[in-house]
Every structure is written in C-alpha cells, then in structure tokens.
Amino acid sequence: MPSRPHCAALSTAALLLAQPLLAFDSPLSDEAVREAYFLGQRHDDSFVRALDKYTTYLDPPETGPHIASVTFFTPFALLVQSSSQHATGYSAQQAALDHRHQKETVKIIVEIRLTASYGPFTVRRTGTRSDSPQGFVPRPYDFWKDFDVRVISGDKAGADTGDDSSDAKEIRPISSDGQPNVFCPDDGGCELSGATLTFEFLAEDFTSGSATVLVTPPEGDPVAVTFDLADLR
C-alpha cells in the first residue's frame, strides 16, 4: 500500500495534469509579480525592451490599410505595464495585493494605419438622392468596425488543412474596444490617421503553445500573425 506522502504526490501530479498548461507564465507566482513590479518601475531602456518583444511589426501593403503591428500582452507583461503607470509611492506589496484580486488576462492590440490607397477620405455620393454627384467625404471615425479580427489558439495551419489532430480553436474575447487615431499638425486641421483595436481574453483560454491573430480588412489582403507563446514570459 502506498505511503501517505506518495499518495499525496500522486494526487498533486494528477491535479496538475488535469489543469491546462499555459506556455506563458500564468498564474503568476509571487516572485513573478514582484519581478514585474520592479521592471515596470525602472522607466528606462530595459522596460521598453522588455515590452517590445511582445509586439510584431508589419510592412505596409501594396494596397489597402496598413496593419502596422499586433501585440500579445501576457499577464506578466500587463503587470509590468500596470506598474509603470503608477506614480511614486506604489509599492511591491500593493502590486501583489492588487494582482491577488484580479483575474489574469491577455490583451491583444492591433494598430491600423491609413494609407494612400485607404486614406482619411472616401468617394461617396454627396447627397441622399440617387443622382447626387460623387465627391470626397471624410472616412467615418468608426471605420475600424469593418475589420474582422479573430484569435486562434493552437495550430491554425493544421485546422485549415482539415487535420483532426489539430488543437486549434477560436478564442472569444471577454471585452473589445476600438479607438480612432487622429493626427493634428501644428498648423491645425486634424486628420484621421488610423485606429487602435484592443481585445481582452482570459489567460486560461490559451492552452496551446501558439496563438494566431487574423486580421481581415475590408480592402486588401488579410494578415496573420503567429506568436510562439513559449518565447513570451
């Protein structure tokens, strides 16, 4: 008959196997929370470099809007960012207390820039009548609603080829938001320049070693950015 310590070890192992294993750190240990706090408090190049690796930058397309970058912020990266946004007097103990009462999440950010072929103005009829002449009108500030963004956890390529063994699944956000970006030169006359889309997910939903962000614009080619989650803290 197994000894009690041996039974306890087997029970612990079984519990760990039953839980989803995430490629990035989640749930964060007390040591990870403390490390994220101090990293965010540096406000120097090390802080910038630490967060920059969570972003993939993309070249402009030949036509259509420019999906300029896609960011995948893990719970650790979000805690670093949160620490950096607090003024002097915010302690490591308070950071640990704040984190203890929060559900760990992932934040995905998509930056869209307007281009010469998909600019701040569109050609539309200038009136409501069918015979109204066409002219240039400002692009709506909520133009980003025409962009389809999907997040796939797992091997998207396997899912596309019909591989039954693929672990790919679409992850639904718990919240999403879009904000227009406006450029205002010193000589006045602000102009729409793009948009920032933000999606929040439960960290526990990412049970695979990779995640792909698919962005399909209303014009131009779709963009797919895959993150190797094992490379992210």
204 pLDDT higher than 90: yes
Provide CB contacts within 8 A for 5, sequence distance 6+. none
Higher pLDDT, 8 or 62: 62
pTM of the complete model: 0.83
Beta strand ranges found along 114-174 (DSSP E): 121-125, 134-138, 148-153, 169-171
| CA gap 20, 207 in Å, rounded | 6
Strands of 169-171's sheet in order across: 169-171, 148-153, 210-216, 223-228
11 pLDDT higher than 70: no
Query: In the prediction, which pLDDT does 53 show?
Result: 93
Provide CB contacts within 8 A for 10, sequence distance 6+. 2
Least confident of 43-57, 139-153, 189-203, 212-226: 43-57
162-185 pLDDT, tens digit each: 444 457 899 999 999 999 999 888
Residue 189: strand, helix, or coil: coil
Least confident of 49-53, 87-91, 97-101, 213-217: 87-91
Least confident of 21-25, 108-112, 186-190, 219-223: 21-25
Query: In the prediction, which pLDDT does 19 show?
Result: 44
Q: Where are the domains of the chain?
A: 22-231
